[in-house]
Amino acid sequence: MRSLILIAIAGAAAQLVDGGIGMGFGVTSTTILLLAGLGPATASAVVHTSELGTTLVSGISHWRFGNVHWPTVLKLGVPGGLSAFIGATVLSNLSLEAAAPVTSAILVVLGINLVWRFSRPRISTSQETRQHSTPFLAGLGVVGGFVDASGGGGWGPISTSTLMAVGREQPRRIVGTVNTAEFLVTFGATAGFIVGLWEEIVANAAAVVALLIGGMITAPIAAWLISRINPTLLGGFVGTAIVTLNIPKALGRALAHQQILLLQVAALVLGVALTVWANQRRAQSAQSSEGDAASQQRGGSRVVETTEPTGREGSEAGSSSESEEERVGVE
């Protein structure tokens, strides 16, 4: 019973992170289940089965808060779901541990690019409105769906980080769209696991329910939170999380455990510091721009007041002029 409560708490925390920054549920939940003694394929099957509920609630919540672009959901999620079905079927019979370092290394590079992108001390003056092409979204969905199903997680890091790196939409819209498309990916992965690991899923049904309940509780909270987070902070924190979570798999075979831990701490501290610094710089620049605009408006008002007398002063000036003319006429 205690283990199920801990799994439920882990599911709640994982969904809060996943719904807020677009990644983390699969990686966090799978790690906990592996520590509990489940095999890689069984852990991934349990996580994806529970995600049928959490991703549904998360998608509805993001939609209600205006964070979803539906054409992108379909172009990204349908190919991702088909690819996830294939990935789940493969994982049921084959281990892809050799591919994990390569995938994590790519994610680390994408995460570094995100931190750099959002830490630049400048204010964006325009938002690109051109939509992503269908082949691009389909290819991204295929890669993300296969990695997510075969590795127990990865849909958010691959899809969210790539779309944010391209930078054609607000971060909150990217996260909401990716989380909504994840339902289709989860459906495909679960169907594949049902074909290959039905008995294992039934045997671990209690863990599925625990993850499901925990994740569904916090999904609406995460969707509400993301609609109120500063885009600069959100983008920087997403990049920092991607780098920190993928360092162990990317460099685990080359470095000792303590060295990996030090790198994770350094990446976390540096990423957070750069993001906060950039947010402060942009806020100061925005305030400075508003102050300059207000000063120009006040300056223009003073010119009008000094060059165009109005009201009582204008009437008095007119009366004085008329009196002077009358005196001249009398003389």
Residue 30 token pair = 């799978």
* pLDDT at residue 122 greater than cutoff 70: no
CA neighbours closer than 13 Å in the CB half-sphere of residue 226 = 37
Where helices occur in 22-133 by DSSP H, the ranges are: 25-35, 40-64, 70-91, 100-119
Percent of the chain with pLDDT over 70: 80
**CA trace torsion 256, 262, 263, 268 (10° rounding):** 150
User: Which phi and psi angles does 250 have, rounded to 5°?
Assistant: -75, -35
What pLDDT is attached to residue 172?
A: 84
Structure confidence at residue 119 as a pLDDT band (50, 70, 90)? confident
* pLDDT at residue 125 greater than cutoff 60: no
188 near 145, Cβ under 8 Å?
Answer: yes
What pLDDT is attached to residue 132?
A: 86
Least confident segment among 132-136, 144-148, 209-213, 227-231: 227-231
- Measured CA to CA, the distance from residue 30 to residue 40 in angstroms comes to 8
Residue 235 token pair = 């983008």
Domain boundaries, the chain: 2-283
* pLDDT at residue 24 greater than cutoff 90: no
**228 SS3 class:** coil
Within its chain, how far is the Cα of 21 from the centroid? 3
- What long-range pairs does 64-67 form, CB within 8 A, spacing at least 24? 64/223, 65/176, 65/223, 65/224, 65/226, 65/227, 66/227, 67/172, 67/173, 67/175, 67/176, 67/177, 67/223, 67/226, 67/227
pLDDT, tens only, 46-92: 889 988 988 898 899 889 988 999 999 999 999 999 999 998 988 78
* pLDDT at residue 161 greater than cutoff 50: yes
pLDDT, tens only, 253-297: 888 989 999 999 999 999 999 988 988 888 887 777 777 766 777
pLDDT, tens only, 280-291: 888 887 777 777
Q: Average pLDDT of 306-319?
A: 47
Structure confidence at residue 18 as a pLDDT band (50, 70, 90)? confident
